[in-house]
Structure 1
Amino acid sequence: MGHPPLEFSACYLDSPDFRERLKCYEQELERTNKFLKEVIRDGNALIGALKVYSLAVQKFSQTLQSFQFDFIGDTLTDDEINIAESFKEFAELLQEVELERSMMVQNASDLLIKPLENFRKEQIGLTKERKKKFEKDGEKFYSMLDRHLNLSSKKKEAQLQEADLQVDKEQHVFFESSLEYVYQIQEVQESKKFCIVEPVLAFLHSLFTYNNLTVELTQDFLPYKQQLQLSLQNTRNHFTSTREGLEDLKKRMKEAPLTCKLLGQPTIEGYLYMQEKWALGVSWMKYYCQYEKEHRMLRMTPMEQKPGSKQGTLQFVLKSCVRRKTDSIDKRFCFDIETMERPGAITLQALSEANRRLWMEAMDGKEPIYHSPITKQEEMELNEVGFRFVRKCINAVETKGVTTEGVYRTVGSNIQVQKLLNAFFDPKCPGDVDLQNSDWDIKTVASALKFYLRNLSEPVMTYKLHKELVSAAKSENLDYRLGAIHSLVYKLPDKNREMLELLIRHLVHVCAHSRENLMTPSNMAVVFGPTLMRAQEDTVAAMMNIKFQNIVVEILIEHFDKIYSGPPEDNAAPPVPPPRVATRRHKPITISKRPLRERPIFFGASVEENEALGDYEGFARVRSPGEKPTITRPPVRPPDPPCKAPPLQKLEPKAEVSSGGGPGEVLPSVVASRTKFFETASFRTGSSSSPQGRLPSDES
């Protein structure tokens, strides 16, 4: 079962529900930390205790078998399903060979122990430090807030203003600590999917490669290994694009936390103190309140239960709201409400003057509230000039940049991009720009095209169909997935469908040259997924759906001919298939027996080094229960992972090539055959000529 995303807006409210979700993340973090300790401990035992090798393998297998990944979101991609089941596949493979003796490679500790220790000490350790700061700042803020609310309004104005400034300062510090902690704990949850699996994957290869008795089994494992490598790479790409969006959302939340309210949530919510009169005096009880303006419903959850009492959530229908005069009560920031359920007025105390204004505005209080309007940035439109601009950009890219390495992923100069857009969309002479001119390089043209698409008043694939498209991408049924997207494309407005067909046809043409430009449909989808179908809400949950947006664009590219051959016969999506269940019975993946041109695949080596040994051919990609089609993919060059295991053998660099206008990158030589084992297995080696390293991330 996946954990619900922690919204940055919830950091400002600090509600009980937010604390409960955060507690679930902390428990999962502790469980992961405990799991890492066990893996590291068992790995060291395996390396140092060759005499009890088979027992250590069995224990290590059981540890992997018992661990279950938890993910953020309600649905997993095919790659995440593969990653989630990978430990079970590893465990089954270990159990088959646990009776056989094998040798440990000399760098086994570097492949497994060091990356996991680094992840545990650096990532999990950093998360725990931010947790301590979050708890410390929260305790300090609420302690100061309680003291502040007990100040008498009779005190001097200077003292009250100074107290207000201190509370605001501590609240700002606590809010920033909360944001940083929430961002860090979600990042660890996401990055562990590849930062933990990759070292284990590399270690497994070192464990079995040098055992002559397991040659046949190792060969059978290669297709699944290749499939898992691609799944890890795709997941890393999704993580990178999601992280950029989350960082931008976090930055905007720091600047204006209340402007990022989620749709469907209460109009306003937060902590209030309610005055309760007793025979012996007056007390103030703390409540977490949620108000829905549409139904004028106020829900109040008590936070301080008195001994012996079991008071539940209170619900009131609001009649009126009136600001309380300062000289009429000894408390500050008070206002009165009248409800249908209780006679007389109920006095509530807000946390500050600004907070009281927000509550009164939401409740239609008698006192008027003024807000400065938020200026809206001028938006581009999907009009004739826009179509002319897109066609000219496509023509320029296809004419002089279709084989450029990293086209559309390499970022152009912001100054040049703005200069091009201002010149083309000049109201005096729109479209009067020659993009074939040498003044405009491919990076500038490609970045300008993406900028135009991202700044449309509505994305090309529209907000209206966004949820349906994402839902289709989440389906396990491949036929339904393709059919639903096919149908939804023809529900787009005419201009949007025409623009989408123009763009996808161009992307198909660019991906056909992926051996030169390294932009496969998967890589291209990472760039154009958020561009063509961005979400209307800037939330963490929306960011987590970016990977499904990428899947939609990848399907459009791979099945362009079928989708644009004409609308579906009934012009409607197939019936909705049954949703994924949270606890699925594990089905082992059937490893293909098809030979892979008798070449070695090195766990822990880069994909470039493996590409030199032959193309990725014939691996079976398991997409859903039932039939498992065999899919052939071109070689994919991944980014350098932060926790990537080193190659099996380091050789001297052979050449230096400049990529994407950036600094030169050193090319690694291919790992050569080092033992007689590889010779007897008829493994062949070669040399790689493609540069190593990842392309610059798309930040335009």
Structure 2
Amino acid sequence: KPTVTMPSIDYNSCAIDSPDFRYALLDQERQLEESVKTMKSVIDSFKRVQETGRAYNEALVAFSLSIQKLGPEQQQQQFQTDSSSAQAQSANLSKAERDMAKFASQFAKDLRYIEDARMRWLDISQESFLKVLTQQRMKIREFLSETRRVYYEETKKFYHSQERMLSLKQQTGKNSEPRNWSAIDKDAEAERICYFNRTYAYVKTLQCEQAKNKVRFFEVLATLQSVWKCFYQECNDNLVEREKNMQATNESVANYNEGIGVAEKELDENRQKLLDMGAWRRRGNHQETLEGYLLLLSQKKLSVAPNNWQRCFCTFNRQKRLLTLQPFSPANPGRTDSSSSPSDSGLGGVVVAVGVPPNSEVDRRFLFEVEINDSTRTLLLQAYSNSEFKCWTQSLRGEPASAEEASEADESRQRPTEFEAQQFEACLAELDRRCLDEEGLYRVEGRSKLVEEFVRGFIMGRPDGMAPVQSLDQVDVRVLSSSVKRYLKQLPEPLMTYAVVERLLQLLSATGAEASALVESPDTIDQLRSEMDSSLPQQNRRLLQSLMSHFGRLTDRSEVNKMTPANVAIVFAPTLCWPQQVNLQSMQACAIAGRYLVLALMQHPDRFLCASPIDASNRSSFSASSTAAAPPLASPMEARKGSKKGSGQGTNLLGYSIGNNNSSGLVSQLGMNLEGPKRCARTLYACTGDSPAELSFEANELVYDVQRIARVDGWCFGMINGRSGIIPSNYIQILQ
């Protein structure tokens, strides 16, 4: 079997093009080369099987013809010339002799049948296995010989072009004109974006084609095995068990193949996300390190000659003020000695001073000098752009990060705000109100520009979004549903958090179980629930609960809208779960595992999200008398009416006046005393509150911070969707 284990390549590192990224890329290419060699060995071995099989076939056919001479048909042919002799011979044969002759004849036929099947197997194998495998091998070889060559030529041209644009030297000649530096900088930026896209596409093609080769190799082997099973009938006793195993394998491979498609789409979206973020301009962690490529003058004599400048990958630790330089060429990573230091030994150390040389000394742009504490001379370095020049000089001088970098760092740490949560829930409520019967809701995308403007303007409240919306009735259904997905996908961290997603992937890797079985495991549920309790922020938990309630109402109408729980999980798994490290393996695993996790959350939200967002530690249950709510005597409404006497407008059902609705203020104004631990509950029936103090809700909604009201029978206090109020006790069930 070809070697197809792939190194972990973080697609986000395409933007920086670091040595670690290039070494991982080299390892991937080397494994592709090993795959070609291994596939050649498989092809040669099977050709020997074919040659041996055909020779064996000829021998067995000759053997069957010899046996055939013992059969009754051959004996009858021998006596055709003399009918009397034939009759006499036939009369003299005993039943045993005739049976033995028939056996010999049948055995010869069986041998020929088996050998005919063998030849069919060899012929089919030639077309379905050997030919396909050879084509697959040639495709990989073509990729390694042509596509890789073109990419590294483009890499070499890109870095040479970038360096040419750094020169201050004017062109000479009759038609030479002054250089337009603004246009040159724009061209350089355009080249960087183009080269980033090319690198991203190359890495994506490299890994995705290799992953698809796994599936193709499995398919040709499965075809070979299918024909092989028909040929080797003596294995019939094991066929039933083998079919069971084959069915499970087919399902696993089908999921894997589907995961490749989902991962490809997610990688394309991640590329666009990196472009929108300007990732190719990012230079490491803004708070701790600065990293990127700089050119180092490797000779004392200043010269514009490229050979005098050495490309180095530089890392600067802001806290320690430690600068390290590693010579490296992305265009020729295999020829770079990673253990070597720049041409002058001892370079790198604590930065003492930073300066900018006069332009008259050398005809190159973006130059700056760095004095190292343990170096015998000042280092002359050159950045690739004006923005990088400013970033490096400011950081090396100890100046604070620019406003742009600071805003990027703040944005990367952002989680859903209270305002965003309210707007997001308003969108869900509007979808519940008028879109539950919409066929294929969430499957058909709205116009991308309108969706982006709505997310920025309405949900996130940014000034660069769409104009204020007077009413959500004005918003198109597709824009509204697409905005729900777009907002969740644009979060810097998945709503389920990286901690929960990584924990799920760790369990999947450690147990080796199928994702569907893993998520249903009680041990897995306990571990994921524990992770959610410890890592889910309150707003994330709130939005997840709102989503699950919305999904429940949506799937209740699946006969009309065609959005079954499985379909909803397929649509929202990539939106709610994605791995922190972006590589093909984790994206594939997360695509399938996330789907089953979302499905499990929809079906059993109380098993994962039963902890209170305000007090998740209070897990002790109510007393036996309070956990079992008394069932309604006649109907829920009648039982509720029995405990709601004396209600009137402006007064709650317990006889208190109504004020504001925050939890502590409402409890204080109502003069209530709450007792017992805070618990989580589920509503059993729909209810419409008769006063502002009473909560209105639908069936199967989660209630948080539920406590009994002292000295008041039949009522309790809780919170639903962020709103606190009183609830009839016989309308809820406490979750253990």
TM over 0.5: yes
Query: Is the counterpart of residue 30 in structure 1 residue 33 in structure 2?
Result: yes
Question: Which residue of the other structure, out of 325, 328, 341, is the alignment partner of 2:358?
Answer: 325
CA contact (8 A) 2:193 2:280 kept: no
Partner in structure 2 of residue 698 of structure 1: none
Which is worse superposed, 162-171 or 309-318?
Answer: 162-171
1:197 Cα offset (Å):
1.4
Partner in structure 2 of residue 411 of structure 1: 444
Q: Which aligned pairs between 1:635-646 and structure 2 lie closer than 5 A?
A: none
1:312 Cα offset (Å):
6.3
CA contact (8 A) 2:579 2:586 kept: yes
Partner in structure 2 of residue 268 of structure 1: 291
Question: Which structure ranks higher in relative contact order (CA pairs < 8 Å, sequence separation ≥ 6)?
Answer: 1
Give ranges in structure 2 of 5+ residues lacking alignment: 58-113, 329-335, 460-466, 513-517, 620-736
Q: What residue identity is the alignment partner of 2:200?
A: L
Q: Which aligned pairs between 1:593-672 and structure 2 lie closer than 5 A?
A: none
Query: Is the counterpart of residue 488 in structure 1 residue 531 in structure 2?
Result: yes
Partner in structure 2 of residue 132 of structure 1: 149
Distance (Å, rounded) in 2 between the aligned partners of 1:430 and 1:166: 45
CA contact (8 A) 1:529 1:553 kept: yes
Distance (Å, rounded) in 2 between the aligned partners of 1:143 and 1:368: 30
Distance (Å, rounded) in 1 between the aligned partners of 2:189 and 2:21: 21
Query: Is the counterpart of residue 247 in structure 1 residue 268 in structure 2?
Result: yes
Distance (Å, rounded) in 2 between the aligned partners of 1:203 and 1:225: 13
Partner in structure 2 of residue 226 of structure 1: 247
Query: Is the counterpart of residue 553 in structure 1 residue 573 in structure 2?
Result: no
Length-normalised TM-score, structure 2 = 0.56
1:257 Cα offset (Å):
4.2
Distance (Å, rounded) in 1 between the aligned partners of 2:271 and 2:380: 35
Distance (Å, rounded) in 1 between the aligned partners of 2:606 and 2:279: 45
Distance 1:476 1:520, change over 3 A: farther
Distance 1:228 1:524, change over 3 A: farther
Q: Which has the higher helix share?
A: 2
Q: What residue identity is the alignment partner of 1:29?
A: L
Question: Which residue of the other structure, out of 575, 584, 609, is the alignment partner of 1:531?
Answer: 575
1:518 Cα offset (Å):
8.8
CA contact (8 A) 2:500 2:532 kept: no
Distance 1:179 1:101, change over 3 A: same
Which is worse superposed, 24-33 or 293-302?
Answer: 293-302
CA contact (8 A) 2:555 2:564 kept: yes
Query: Is the counterpart of residue 195 in structure 1 residue 216 in structure 2?
Result: yes
Distance (Å, rounded) in 1 between the aligned partners of 2:589 and 2:282: 18
Which is worse superposed, 304-313 or 218-227?
Answer: 304-313
CA contact (8 A) 1:424 1:432 kept: no
1:188 Cα offset (Å):
1.9
Matched length: 516
Distance (Å, rounded) in 1 between the aligned partners of 2:365 and 2:194: 23
1:221 Cα offset (Å):
0.8
CA contact (8 A) 1:453 1:531 kept: yes
1:40 Cα offset (Å):
4.3
Distance (Å, rounded) in 1 between the aligned partners of 2:579 and 2:208: 21
CA contact (8 A) 1:323 1:366 kept: no
CA contact (8 A) 1:153 1:326 kept: no
1:132 Cα offset (Å):
0.9
Distance (Å, rounded) in 2 between the aligned partners of 1:321 and 1:420: 44
CA contact (8 A) 2:326 2:342 kept: no
Partner in structure 1 of residue 425 of structure 2: 387
Partner in structure 2 of residue 258 of structure 1: 280
1:128 Cα offset (Å):
4.0
Q: Secondary structure at the match of 2:511?
A: coil
> Which structure has the larger Rg?
2
Distance (Å, rounded) in 2 between the aligned partners of 1:45 and 1:514: 57
Partner in structure 2 of residue 236 of structure 1: 257
Distance 1:254 1:501, change over 3 A: closer
Distance 1:349 1:119, change over 3 A: same
CA contact (8 A) 2:289 2:317 kept: yes
1:118 Cα offset (Å):
4.6
Distance (Å, rounded) in 1 between the aligned partners of 2:401 and 2:479: 49
Partner in structure 1 of residue 324 of structure 2: 299
Distance (Å, rounded) in 2 between the aligned partners of 1:370 and 1:502: 36
CA contact (8 A) 2:368 2:381 kept: yes
Q: Secondary structure at the match of 2:348?
A: strand
Structure 1, residues 372-417: CA drift from partner, whole Å, max 9, x if none?
99899998955345334324535767x636xx6xx46732443898
Distance 1:324 1:309, change over 3 A: closer
Distance (Å, rounded) in 1 between the aligned partners of 2:320 and 2:503: 29
Partner in structure 1 of residue 22 of structure 2: 19
CA contact (8 A) 2:424 2:484 kept: no
1:185 Cα offset (Å):
0.9
Structure 1, residues 104-157: CA drift from partner, whole Å, max 9, x if none?
456544543454445444466345422111222233445566777787689898
Q: Secondary structure at the match of 2:178?
A: helix
Partner in structure 2 of residue 629 of structure 1: none
Which is worse superposed, 301-310 or 290-299?
Answer: 301-310
Which is worse superposed, 448-457 or 32-41?
Answer: 448-457
1:100 Cα offset (Å):
14
CA contact (8 A) 1:461 1:533 kept: yes
Q: Which aligned pairs between 1:392-471 and structure 2 lie closer than 5 A?
A: 392-394=430-432, 400=437, 407=440, 410-414=443-447, 418=451, 429-431=470-472, 447=482, 449-455=484-490, 459-462=494-497, 467-468=502-503, 470-471=505-506
1:232 Cα offset (Å):
1.4
Partner in structure 2 of residue 339 of structure 1: 372
Partner in structure 2 of residue 180 of structure 1: 201
1:208 Cα offset (Å):
0.7
Distance (Å, rounded) in 2 between the aligned partners of 1:175 and 1:416: 24
Query: Is the counterpart of residue 216 in structure 1 residue 237 in structure 2?
Result: yes
Distance 1:294 1:457, change over 3 A: same
1:354 Cα offset (Å):
5.0
